[in-house]
Structure 1
């Protein structure tokens, strides 16, 4: 049985184009395989804790800095609890609009909480970092109002998909499929482009089965 974790990075609800694309993919996936289960993580409705000094101190003990005292252990247990929801999934469906050429800060906050040694990555002084999520898949839906691949610099830069693609690879997820609806505003045919993106989202189900 495949478990999908849908990470919703937009706060716009039904008005979100990235969420609509992801939901179209998920609907097609569950129709194709009724055994698929879906866990939806709406980041703007989650009470995500601050990655404060105690959590940072707990993390550093894995690199040989300091000791895991009771306070640090309590902070680390909170991190593990949040991260387990992520690691329990087989497929990650991420709907992510572009904000100021990057990802929304709620998604960055979530990534900073769960990207921890022994949970999502390993580290060896000689060999460096290694991702721990081998065998997982990711399907990412990118939207942007103005920016598009190949656009002139005056329309912005891509710290959006470049960062998220790097992070997925960093934690060991190598099988990544992307759908772009970019731009969603600066286009002569927004409805046609939206329809094409939805068609591509649904078509990915067969490719990622």
Structure 2
């Protein structure tokens, strides 16, 4: 299994909760015996270009008609799309910035949302995502408590953005583990939030390991 592990926090590694939780989940997968290889991407260092007029023109021009300049403009996006398509799993760890996703993760989304690459545009104008075979986990950290019943719950723009963007390219049921609240609260509540997140990640790693084992057994039985 190949995992594309993506970090999006602007904080340095040893001060970032989202980075630490992403590493913890991968460690738990190993603990449960899951074998995988990692393709690591830090979008704060490998920042994808913003969408430009050149990019829009190039991506909607049929491949056979693209100029050399168009191919140059699309090259970073082509490479990023290939990394996503080569992965079986995406583990995306990110903090909430001003109620939504980090801008560097938004440019990543823009880079991988490509006509006839990660989704098909049909003659009737409808679209079909092509990444339905990918398992996706979002590990998020939030300063405020945005759980149901919280005064801040209506301000969560992060979850709907991620669900909509990935549904468009075919990922219908991404999984979420949200650590919250981690800033605008007392120290005890912050500690409890991290405990909940660690427990959720541990349970999820166990579930993934069990499901992978079942899949492997089924494939072995079919091969006999």
Q: TM-score, normalised by structure 1?
A: 0.88
Residues 62-77 of structure 1 aligned to structure 2 (within 5 Å): 62=62, 67-77=65-75
Q: Is the 8 A contact 2:48 2:76 kept in 1?
A: no
Q: Is the 8 A contact 1:54 1:72 kept in 2?
A: yes
TM-aligned CA deviation for residue 156 of structure 1 = 6.3
Looking at structure 1, the residues matched to 205 and 173 of structure 2 have their Cα atoms a distance apart, in angstroms, of 14
Q: Is the 8 A contact 1:135 1:173 kept in 2?
A: yes
> Counterpart of 1:191?
191
Matched residue SS, 1:4: strand
Structure 1: tracts of 5 or more residues without a match: none
- CA RMSD for the aligned pairs? 2.2
> Counterpart of 2:17?
17
- Check 1:6–1:60 CA distance in 2 against 1; reply closer, same or farther (3 A cut): same
Write the deviation string for residues 143-179 of structure 1: whole angstroms up to 9, x where unpaired: 11114123225x7611101100111211111342111
> Counterpart of 1:201?
201
Q: Is the 8 A contact 1:94 1:141 kept in 2?
A: yes
TM-aligned CA deviation for residue 127 of structure 1 = 5.7
Q: How many residues align?
A: 205
Structure 2: tracts of 5 or more residues without a match: 210-224
Looking at structure 2, the residues matched to 71 and 185 of structure 1 have their Cα atoms a distance apart, in angstroms, of 46
Pick from 90, 97, 100 the counterpart of residue 98 of structure 2: 100
Q: Is the 8 A contact 1:59 1:117 kept in 2?
A: yes
Q: TM-score, normalised by structure 2?
A: 0.83
> Counterpart of 2:115?
117
> Counterpart of 1:83?
81
> Counterpart of 2:168?
170
Please identify which structure carries the higher helix content: 2
> Counterpart of 2:136?
138
Q: Is the 8 A contact 1:137 1:176 kept in 2?
A: yes
